[in-house]
Amino acid sequence: MFVGNLDLACMLWMVLVLFMLPPHTCYAFCPGSCHCLHLGAVKCSGFSITDVPEHMPTFMFLLQLNGTKMEVMNEQSLANLNNLLRFSLTNSHLHTVHPHAFHVATQLKSLKLSSNDLSTIPARVFSPLLNLEQLLLDSNQLETITPDMLEGLPRLLELDLSRNKLSGLVFNVFRGMTNLTFLNLGRNCIKKLPTSIFHPLTHLQHLLLYNNELETLEPGMFDGLVNLKELKIHHNHITSLPAQVFWPLRNLKILSLSSNRLQVIPEKSFYYMPSLSYLTLYKNPMSSLPVQLMGHMPYIKTFHLFNTNLTTVPGNLFTNMSGLLTLHIQFNNKLQELPSDLFCCLPNLKTLSLKSNNLQYLPPHLFSKQTTLNILLLSGNKLQTLPDNIFESLTGLSELDLRNNNLMTLPGHVFPSNTGLTFVHLSENPWDCSPTGIIRWIRHNWQLVPDRDNVTCRSPDSESDGMHHILRVVAMWLPTVEELITGLNSIYF
């Protein structure tokens, strides 16, 4: 017991002495072109480096080589680095890895070979790395990945194969990776994936397939991925979705399907996804949506639906999204009408954008439930008139954008008196500038109209821009024309 206490005391004393020494004292050598940090990390860069520098610090656990001329990893490159846990070789034109390059570094937990010129990988090159948790091979020239290339990685948690030239993958390429939680296949040229390719990855939480050339998703492709939280499939060529393909993903939080070629979405495609908090469908050529599409989604906060071919949307589209805070239905140049009850179940909505559609009319009670709405954008439509009191319930409204429509006048009580309205944008409309028209309202509320100097008049008829300008000035900054005439009469008569 006494000897044990003495050994412990000596060890503590040695550690204390080491921490009291200047940083470089712990490292008798720090190779040229390298920066040796105090806690065991070494960073090296420069074209003078053609292999792992010699005489590395004894206690080094992290080595980063960046921007070097190390084009080949030989079988002794990592020799005698017994404490090395994390190795990174990036931006170095690496094109060859010796089949036994990692036999001398079996303790590695993280390996990063990103942004190099690798076009192939030797079979079973990573199999000695039984403790490897992170493998990053992104931004290379890999055209194919076979099962034996990734063989022997039972503890791998993260695999990044993005930004390569992969055109497809075989069904058993990820065999044995039962602990994988993150898989990035984005920015490749993948056209099709086997149905069962992801089935062994029962612990997968993040699956990224964006920016490929996928044309379809196979039925049952995501079966068994009960732990998946993020699925990104945007920027592909997908034209249709199998029915119920997403139903197994009960814990999914993020689903991006934007920028595909979807024309039809099956009914109930997004049912049984109660954890979903982010969903994108924009930039798809859909002409309609099914009446039953969205299941219970209490955590959805933001939804975007723009650049589609929709002419209308189902009245119950947002019924199950009561927690929605931001909604953008915009840049749909065929969208002509909205159901009167479309926003009935969105009591918490803060921002609503309906700009740059083809709307010609708004139902009178369209915004009757939006008492918390702060921002309403209606610019870039073809609205000719607004129903009386359409904004009556918007007691929290601070910004309203009506620019670039066909409005000539506004109803007398269109703006509720008890709002905190701060901005009303009115320019690019053919306003009626008669004494009782919109100009009278601007005259009394000029501080709310930031674009007031660009409000032009279509009537009374005028032949010159100069008269337009005169009408604006008289109407905004002087008393009404009636008041002006009354005043002149009192002077001369």
pLDDT tens digits along 242-253 = 999 999 999 999
Q: Residue 317: is its pLDDT beyond 80?
A: yes
pLDDT of 468 over the 90 cut: no
Average pLDDT of the chain is 89
Domain 26-165 has CATH 3.80.10.10: yes
Domain ranges of the chain: 26-165, 175-300, 329-488
Q: How far apart (Å, rounded) are the C-alpha atoms in residues 464 and 472? A: 13
The pLDDT confidence band at residue 29, using thresholds 50, 70 and 90, is confident
Q: How many helices (H) and strands (E) does the chain have?
A: 4, 22
Is a pLDDT exceeding 90 seen at residue 165?
yes
Q: Are 449 and 477 in contact (CB under 8 A)?
A: no
Res 489 pLDDT > 90:
no
Pick from 359, 374, 350, 258: which is nearest to 313 by CA? Answer: 359
State the residue for tokens 């069904």: 171
Question: For residue 126, is pLDDT > 60?
Answer: yes
Determine the CATH number of domain 329-488.
3.80.10.10
Lowest mean pLDDT, pick from 37-51, 293-307, 462-476 = 462-476
Report the distance separating Cα 394 and Cα 376, nearest Å. Answer: 10
Q: Please tell me the predicted confidence (pLDDT) of residue 345.
A: 95
What are 465's strand-pairing partners? none
Percent of the chain having pLDDT more than 70? Answer: 86
pLDDT tier at 280 (50, 70, 90 boundaries)? very high
Per-residue pLDDT, 493: 43
With a CB cutoff of 8 Å and minimum separation 6, the contacts of 165 are: 141, 142, 143, 188, 189
Matching CATH topology for 26-165 and 175-300? yes
- Answer whether residue 271 shows pLDDT above 60: yes
The CATH H-level superfamily of 175-300 is Ribonuclease Inhibitor (3.80.10.10)
Report, as an integer, the average pLDDT of 291-311. Answer: 95
Instruction: Look at residue 425 and tell me whether its pLDDT is greater than 70.
Output: yes
- Which among 231, 289, 222 has a CA at the least distance from the CA of 257? 231
The pLDDT assigned to 4 comes to: 46
Pairing of strands 86-90, 96-97: unpaired
Q: How far is CA 368 from CA 340, 342, 416, in A?
A: 10, 11, 12
In this prediction, residues 471-491 reach a mean pLDDT of 46
* DSSP H or E run through 133: none
* The model's pTM: 0.85
CB contact at 8 A, 223 and 246: no
Q: What is the DSSP letter of 380?
A: S
pLDDT confidence of residue 487: 46
- Asked whether the predicted pLDDT for residue 294 surpasses 70, the reply is yes
Confidence of residue 445 (pLDDT cuts 50, 70, 90): confident
- Name the more confident of 439 and 91: 91
Task: For residue 436, name the pLDDT band (cuts at 50, 70, 90).
Answer: low
Q: Which of 16-20, 45-49, 141-145, 410-414 has the lowest mean pLDDT?
A: 16-20
b/e map of 166-200 (b: 16 or more CB within 10 Å)?
A: bebbeeebbeebeebbbbbbbbbebeebeeebbbb
pLDDT of 483 above 80: no
